Amino acid sequence: MKSLDKLMLELYVIKSDRVLHYKTVPKLVKFVVGMISEELDVSKLFFAAKYHDIGRLWYSKGRNAFFHQYATFLILKKHGFEKEGDIAMRHDCFGWTPEETRRVGFNKEFKTSNPIDLIPNSVESKILALVDSLRGWDNKHEDLWNPKKLHPTTKKFYASIGSPDFFLSRKKRMVTELEKLGLNTQKVIEKAKKLYSVS
């Protein structure tokens, strides 16, 4: 793949709204457009969001939570990975169990209750599908490793699908998969912060 490590860092920063703390859509759009030199088509934004993260749409009410999904697709497309970009928009479901996916209607949407069925059997695509596990590891926003410390809205969502430990267990599954692929997750995080001057 073309500069996979650099591509991962780009994805990490684009998707890390918790790290960069963007408060408004204009700031995020300006950052995205500056990086990929393409105009964002807002009409495609919610289509991308639907397939990237089915659950988040329920409580975000369509606010600026979804720009990173479409931006991810455009970055991958720019690097020649259009097919992987489509997959990346769905990858938040990768760590879900079949039972969890049935609860949110994933099986009706994709005709399968196992999200892994959607991920091509290649190391590259699995890496792209797991990149989101790096999001939010700056420990400045909310402790994503401790369900008891999650934001009330986040907690409410995960409780609504009947799995109090959902977030924590999913993170651990993803990290395990990343490490199986030989990636030092903490090293990638530090490189990303240094490269993009994230304090």
C-alpha distances out from residue 199 to 5, 131, 186, 194, Å? 20, 20, 15, 8
Contact 133/178 with Cβ under 8 angstroms? yes
Q: Which residues of the chain have pLDDT under 50?
A: 1-6, 8-67, 91, 93-95, 119-147, 157-158, 161-164, 166-167, 192-193, 195-199
Which amino acid is it at 175? V
CA dist., res. 81 & res. 73, Å (int): 9
Q: What is the pLDDT of residue 174?
A: 55
Q: What angle do CA 99, 168, 140 make, to 5 degrees?
A: 145
Q: What is the pLDDT of residue 71?
A: 54
Nearest to 74 by CA among 109, 24, 34, 27: 34
Q: What is the pLDDT of residue 42?
A: 44
Q: What is the pLDDT of residue 49?
A: 39
Q: What is the percent of the chain where pLDDT is above 90?
A: 0
pLDDT, one tens digit per residue, over 118-147 is 544 444 444 444 444 444 333 333 344 444
CA dist., res. 39 & res. 104, Å (int): 32
Q: pTM of the full predicted structure?
A: 0.34
**Tokens 């990343």 -> residue:** 178
157-181 b/e (C-beta count within 10 Å ≥ 16 → b): bbeebebeebbbebbebbbebbeee
Contact 94/138 with Cβ under 8 angstroms? no
